[in-house]
Amino acid sequence: MAKEQKNQIELVTVELSEDKLNEIKEYNSQLNQIMTQIGQLHIRRNELTSELEKIEAAFGEAESGFTETNSEMRKELNKLERDYPRGQLNLEEGTITYNKAYKEQLEKQAQQQQNPNGIAGGDTVDAPFSKV
């Protein structure tokens, strides 16, 4: 039988100079600090991302609430405008100031538009003048 040869690797230990060792230790320390900082920044970024998502959701809800409330207020103001045309609303005093004569004029115009011939009930009458 053939005898097995073992290849051995001879390791040599060399002592580094104190300056070189301190330089490498300083780099290692800086790398450890940077890795810690990266970890802290990663955690903080996740927290901020979560907070921004909450803010975006709240912002969307606030916009929806504003749109809905504004629409409801406009409906109410339109109703007031029909009852009190060109009125000036004073929220402090809870009053509306409007020109009653203007309201009567608008009502008269609306009534005339419903009955263009001046006849109640929608009856039509031949026009007194013919078109040429």
Report the alpha-carbon distance of residue 15 to residue 79 in Å, rounded. 94
Inter-CA distances, 28 with 14, 38, 39, Å: 20, 15, 17
**Which residues of the chain, if any, have pLDDT below 50?**
125-132
In this prediction, residue 118 carries a pLDDT of 55
pLDDT given for residue 125 in this prediction: 47
Q: What is the pLDDT of residue 127?
A: 46
Identify which of 64, 68, 66, 87 has the alpha carbon closest to the alpha carbon of residue 77. 87
CA 36 to chain centre: 36
pTM: 0.54
Amino acid residing at 7: N
In whole angstroms, what is the distance from residue 25 CA to residue 75 CA?
74
**H/E element holding 17?**
none
Supply the pLDDT for residue 55: 98
pLDDT at 52: 97
| pLDDT for res 128 | 47
Residues 79-102 have pLDDT tens digits of: 999 889 889 999 999 999 988 888
- pLDDT attached to residue 129: 46
φ, ψ for residue 128 (rounded to 5)?
A: -70, -20
